[in-house]
Amino acid sequence: DAGVIQSPRHEVTEMGQEVTLRCKPISGHDYLFWYRQTMMRGLELLIYFNNNVPIDDSGMPEDRFSAKMPNASFSTLKIQPSEPRDSAVYFCASSSGPLSYNEQFFGPGTRLTVL
Amino acid sequence: GQQLNQSPQSMFIQEGEDVSMNCTSSSIFNTWLWYKQDPGEGPVLLIALYKAGELTSNGRLTAQFGITRKDSFLNISASIPSDVGIYFCAGINTGTASKLTFGTGTRLQVTL
């Protein structure tokens, strides 16, 4: 299995631009998670989906952030407009069931730099 | 958001030494997890703990779920260079079966 696939691996953009991060979960996994990692705040859950439906988006910082999962094999996290404080590593992860009983697998991350 | 407190924040040890790190919380968790993150990669699950008092091993790694459900520790025996990385604890509360709260991380450096 290829594991969780994220693209791009690195993104550098200017403040005000739209940024779209992409994720392909492991085939057959019903749960998909988006995390953000920074030095100041550590690893934070932004949103997670179950069967393509957003279940909890309480971690999404503000309206500039949006996430979609149009089908079981693809999800996007969009930031519009981007700001320098959005600079972070964004991880996508997936699991075959609730995390209390199932392992979560992380992708390699997208390192976002907003200038 | 809430974070679990991990200590120490960083460690420099020599190859062959044993390592111990812990994680504490003001909240009760029903599941404790320990992850390792290598540079440029996502975290990888090392050990999962599901019951208070549980002691679980995975090779040279041993982790325990605290009796109070508010803490956990991870031990690494006979460290080797590939143990270098950042170790994170994570907890899951009842009723939030798919939301992880992550610790602040312990950065481990191993010298030869």
**Alpha carbon distance A47, A88 (integer Å):** 16
Size of interface A-B (CB pairs under 8 A): 59
Q: What integer pLDDT is reported at residue A62 of this predicted model?
A: 85
Q: What integer pLDDT is reported at residue B10 of this predicted model?
A: 95
**Residue B96 predicted with pLDDT over 80:** no
| 3-class state of residue B83 by DSSP | helix
Identity of the residue in A31, A42, A50 whose CB atom sits nearest the CB atom of B104? A42
B81 neighbors B26 (Cβ within 8 angstroms): no
pLDDT (average), residues B77-96: 90
Please judge whether B41 and A108 are an interchain contact, meaning their C-beta atoms are less than 8 angstroms apart. Answer: yes
Please judge whether B1 and A106 are an interchain contact, meaning their C-beta atoms are less than 8 angstroms apart. Answer: no
pLDDT tens digits, residue range B21-64?
Answer: 999 999 899 999 999 999 999 999 999 999 999 999 999 999 99
CA distance B71 to chain A (A): 17
Q: What integer pLDDT is reported at residue A1 of this predicted model?
A: 64
Rounded mean pLDDT of chain B? 92
**Residue A75 predicted with pLDDT over 60:** yes
pLDDT tier at B4, thresholds 50, 70, 90: confident
**Alpha carbon distance B69, B57 (integer Å):** 18
